[in-house]
Amino acid sequence: MRNHTELSEFILLGIPQTQGLEILLFVIFLFVYFITLLGNLLILIAVVFSSALHTPMYFFLGILSMFDIFFPSVTCPKMLFYLSGQSKAISYQGCATQLFFYHFLGCAENCLLCVMSYDRFVAICYPLRYSLIMRPGICVGMVMGAWTLGCVHASILTSLTFQVTYCGPNQVDYFFCDIPAILPLACDDISLPQTVGSTNVGFLVLMFWFTVCVSYIRIGIAILRIRSAEGRKKAFSTCSAHLAAVFCALGPVIIIYLQSTPKPFLDAIVQILNNIVSPMLNSLIYSLRNREVKRSLKRVFQRVFFVGNR
């Protein structure tokens, strides 16, 4: 990449229109980031150490918790670093790395949410064949497919973004390195990376939405056929948290990457909700609304506390 640019670093100017609020934002984001890490770590502990949760549904939930730990960690630590008064500079290689892992984890997580919708579809529409269809090898293969798709997607976007020459201004009017903020600083024609990037993102969003919609249409039809009110309530409860996570994940992508005219302040707010707030809400929704997760966590900590007192 050094052969294509004269810049050695970029300067992240932070969230637009928030000058003078750095200390307040630092405290807020530090708290939210801590709750995000703690909540998702607790879910991961419950899934790993509780045999009652060794099912496909909770296997995918554990992987989602891993994504919700890694995904905000791509942007939040650097943002907290410069909000605390430290340097706003980020190296050229660091910027490329940040952009790659942001899109890698974001795409893989969205793909995983589609896999989870398919899992709910099989569980509700084909309950007698669920254990056969969602056997361990298939579940692991689906997760590996999500990782692979995310890696390919991020590699394409990162190579296109950083194959152009950056030789002029290096001030990024944003709080992390992302395509809409980096490309305008290029000295070359950016029509190709913009077009390919928008097409790539648009295709994936369309594919993800189509998969989720088809799954939940079938799920809705199956739920309406359940005669018991208690059965319908249980089926809906298992799907509502996941459906909320899908809207929180895919909605910001549409707003930011598929809009005709970028709006820096609105984009920053949406990205903050997507990067930091949404992973925290996922952990709270899945832990507070799921009795099995809460019971498993209680048993795990009781076991640890009992062993520790022996």
Which of the residue ranges 25-34, 183-192, 256-265, 280-289 would you say has the lowest mean pLDDT? 256-265
Q: Does residue 131 carry a pLDDT above 60? A: yes
Q: Does residue 188 carry a pLDDT above 70? A: yes
What is the model's pLDDT at position 257? 67
Q: Does residue 141 carry a pLDDT above 90? A: yes
Give CA separation, 86 vs 22, 80, 82, 172, 178, in Å.
Answer: 11, 9, 5, 16, 21
Q: Determine which helix (DSSP H) or strand (DSSP E) holds 252, and give its type and residue range.
A: helix 229-257
- Dihedral sign for Cα atoms in the order 193, 199, 200, 202: positive
Strand order in the sheet with 171-172: 89-91, 9-12, 171-172
The segment with the largest mean pLDDT, out of 96-100, 124-128, 223-227, 297-301, is 96-100
What is the share, in percent, of the chain residues with pLDDT greater than 90?
Answer: 31
What is the share, in percent, of the chain residues with pLDDT greater than 70?
Answer: 89
Task: Calculate mean pLDDT across residues 64-80.
Answer: 92
Other beta carbons less than 10 A from residue 128's beta carbon: 6
What is the model's pLDDT at position 3? 47
Q: Does residue 1 carry a pLDDT above 60? A: no
What is the model's pLDDT at position 288? 60
Residues in contact with 188: Cβ distance below 8 Å, sequence separation at least 6, in sequence order: 164, 165
In three-state secondary structure terms, 176 is coil
Q: Does residue 102 carry a pLDDT above 90? A: yes
Other beta carbons less than 10 A from residue 141's beta carbon: 11
pTM: 0.87
Which of the residue ranges 11-15, 17-21, 263-267 would you say has the lowest mean pLDDT? 263-267
More confident residue, 126 or 237: 126
Q: Determine which helix (DSSP H) or strand (DSSP E) holds 172, and give its type and residue range.
A: strand 171-172
Instruction: Confirm if 238 and 224 have CB atoms less than 8 A apart.
Output: no
Task: Calculate mean pLDDT across residues 110-124.
Answer: 89
Instruction: Confirm if 94 and 187 have CB atoms less than 8 A apart.
Output: no
Spatial separation of the C-alpha atoms in residues 126 and 290, rounded to whole Å: 22
Tokens of 262: 């970028």
Give CA separation, 195 vs 16, 91, 172, 188, in Å.
Answer: 26, 26, 21, 14
What is the model's pLDDT at position 299? 78
What is the model's pLDDT at position 5? 45
Spatial separation of the C-alpha atoms in residues 18 and 57, rounded to whole Å: 41
More confident residue, 234 or 92: 92
CA angle 55/66/245 to nearest 5° reads 80
Which amino acid type is present at position 227?
Answer: R
Task: Calculate mean pLDDT across residues 76-96.
Answer: 91
> What is the chain's mean pLDDT, rounded?
84
Q: Does residue 158 carry a pLDDT above 60? A: yes
What domains appear along the chain, each with residue ranges and CATH number?
Answer: 2-309 (1.20.1070.10)
Q: Does residue 47 carry a pLDDT above 70? A: yes
> Would you call 64 exposed, middle or buried from its count of C-beta atoms within 10 A (0-12, 13-18, 19+)?
buried
Which amino acid type is present at position 196?
Answer: V
